[in-house]
Protein backbone atom coordinates (compact mmCIF):
# COMPACT_ATOMS: atom_id res chain seq x y z
CA UNK A 1 0.00 0.00 0.00
CA UNK A 2 2.92 2.36 0.58
CA UNK A 3 4.09 1.82 -3.00
CA UNK A 4 0.57 2.67 -4.18
CA UNK A 5 0.71 5.87 -2.12
CA UNK A 6 4.04 6.79 -3.77
CA UNK A 7 2.59 6.20 -7.25
CA UNK A 8 -0.57 8.15 -6.33
CA UNK A 9 1.56 11.10 -5.25
CA UNK A 10 3.66 10.94 -8.44
CA UNK A 11 0.53 10.90 -10.64
CA UNK A 12 -1.15 13.67 -8.66
CA UNK A 13 -4.17 11.41 -8.10
CA UNK A 14 -4.64 10.94 -4.36
CA UNK A 15 -7.57 8.59 -5.08
CA UNK A 16 -5.53 6.16 -7.21
CA UNK A 17 -7.07 2.76 -6.51
CA UNK A 18 -5.30 -0.54 -5.92
CA UNK A 19 -8.04 -2.03 -8.13
CA UNK A 20 -6.30 -0.46 -11.11
CA UNK A 21 -3.46 -2.96 -10.62
CA UNK A 22 -5.70 -6.02 -10.04
CA UNK A 23 -3.56 -7.26 -7.15
CA UNK A 24 -4.81 -10.23 -5.16
CA UNK A 25 -3.02 -9.30 -1.94
CA UNK A 26 -2.24 -5.82 -0.61
CA UNK A 27 0.25 -5.44 2.23
CA UNK A 28 0.63 -2.51 4.61
CA UNK A 29 3.56 -1.63 6.81
CA UNK A 30 6.62 -1.76 4.56
CA UNK A 31 8.40 1.13 2.86
CA UNK A 32 7.41 2.05 -0.68
CA UNK A 33 9.07 -0.32 -3.17
CA UNK A 34 10.29 -2.51 -0.28
CA UNK A 35 8.62 -5.54 -1.86
CA UNK A 36 11.12 -5.38 -4.72
CA UNK A 37 13.82 -6.49 -2.26
CA UNK A 38 11.92 -9.74 -1.69
CA UNK A 39 12.65 -11.15 -5.16
CA UNK A 40 14.28 -14.58 -4.79
CA UNK A 41 13.12 -15.00 -1.19
CA UNK A 42 10.28 -16.86 0.47
CA UNK A 43 7.39 -15.17 2.23
CA UNK A 44 4.75 -16.49 4.61
CA UNK A 45 1.30 -14.95 4.78
CA UNK A 46 -0.71 -16.65 7.49
CA UNK A 47 -0.20 -20.38 6.95
CA UNK A 48 0.78 -20.14 3.27
CA UNK A 49 4.37 -19.96 2.07
CA UNK A 50 5.19 -18.25 -1.23
CA UNK A 51 8.18 -17.78 -3.51
CA UNK A 52 8.63 -14.15 -4.53
CA UNK A 53 9.57 -14.60 -8.18
CA UNK A 54 9.68 -11.25 -9.97
CA UNK A 55 8.36 -7.74 -10.23
CA UNK A 56 5.14 -7.31 -12.20
CA UNK A 57 5.54 -5.38 -15.46
CA UNK A 58 2.40 -3.33 -16.07
CA UNK A 59 0.41 -2.68 -19.23
CA UNK A 60 -1.93 -0.03 -20.62
CA UNK A 61 -4.86 -1.50 -18.68
CA UNK A 62 -3.50 0.35 -15.62
CA UNK A 63 -4.29 3.65 -17.37
CA UNK A 64 -8.02 2.87 -17.16
CA UNK A 65 -10.07 3.91 -14.15
CA UNK A 66 -11.50 0.65 -12.74
CA UNK A 67 -14.86 2.29 -12.01
CA UNK A 68 -15.42 4.07 -15.33
CA UNK A 69 -13.08 2.39 -17.83
CA UNK A 70 -11.86 5.83 -18.90
CA UNK A 71 -8.10 6.14 -19.44
CA UNK A 72 -7.34 8.93 -17.01
CA UNK A 73 -3.84 8.34 -15.54
CA UNK A 74 -0.63 7.57 -17.43
CA UNK A 75 0.58 4.94 -14.98
CA UNK A 76 3.25 3.35 -17.20
CA UNK A 77 4.93 6.67 -17.98
CA UNK A 78 4.78 7.67 -14.32
CA UNK A 79 6.46 4.43 -13.24
CA UNK A 80 9.30 4.76 -15.75
CA UNK A 81 9.86 8.51 -15.39
CA UNK A 82 9.15 9.33 -11.75
CA UNK A 83 10.76 6.17 -10.40
CA UNK A 84 13.44 5.79 -13.08
CA UNK A 85 12.40 2.27 -14.03
CA UNK A 86 13.50 0.65 -17.29
CA UNK A 87 10.15 -1.16 -17.46
CA UNK A 88 6.92 -0.03 -15.74
CA UNK A 89 6.77 -2.33 -12.71
CA UNK A 90 4.45 -2.32 -9.72
CA UNK A 91 4.15 -5.13 -7.13
CA UNK A 92 5.68 -8.61 -7.09
CA UNK A 93 4.54 -12.04 -8.22
CA UNK A 94 4.02 -14.68 -5.52
CA UNK A 95 3.84 -18.40 -6.22
CA UNK A 96 2.56 -20.70 -3.46
CA UNK A 97 5.02 -23.42 -2.50
CA UNK A 98 2.23 -25.95 -1.80
CA UNK A 99 -1.34 -26.52 -2.90
CA UNK A 100 -4.04 -25.41 -0.50
CA UNK A 101 -4.07 -23.08 2.45
CA UNK A 102 -5.88 -19.86 3.16
CA UNK A 103 -4.77 -16.27 3.30
CA UNK A 104 -7.02 -14.01 5.35
CA UNK A 105 -7.28 -10.26 5.79
CA UNK A 106 -5.05 -9.33 8.72
CA UNK A 107 -2.71 -12.35 8.43
CA UNK A 108 0.89 -11.67 9.45
CA UNK A 109 3.43 -11.34 6.62
CA UNK A 110 6.88 -12.77 7.36
CA UNK A 111 9.91 -12.72 5.09
CA UNK A 112 11.68 -16.09 5.47
pLDDT digits (tens, 9 = 90+) for 96-112: 999 889 999 999 999 99
CA distances from 42 to 97, 98, 111 (A): 9, 12, 6
pLDDT digits (tens, 9 = 90+) for 49-105: 999 999 999 999 999 999 999 999 999 999 999 999 999 999 999 999 998 899 999
Closest listed residue to residue 89, CA positions, set 5, 2, 7: 7
Q: How far apart are the first and last CA of the chain?
A: 21
Q: Residue 99: its pLDDT value, please?
A: 87
User: How far is it, in rounded angstroms, from Cα 49 to Cα 59?
Assistant: 28
Amino acid sequence: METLAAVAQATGDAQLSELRFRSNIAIEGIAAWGEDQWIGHRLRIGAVEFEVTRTKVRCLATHANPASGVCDVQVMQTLTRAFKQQQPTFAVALLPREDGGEVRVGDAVTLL
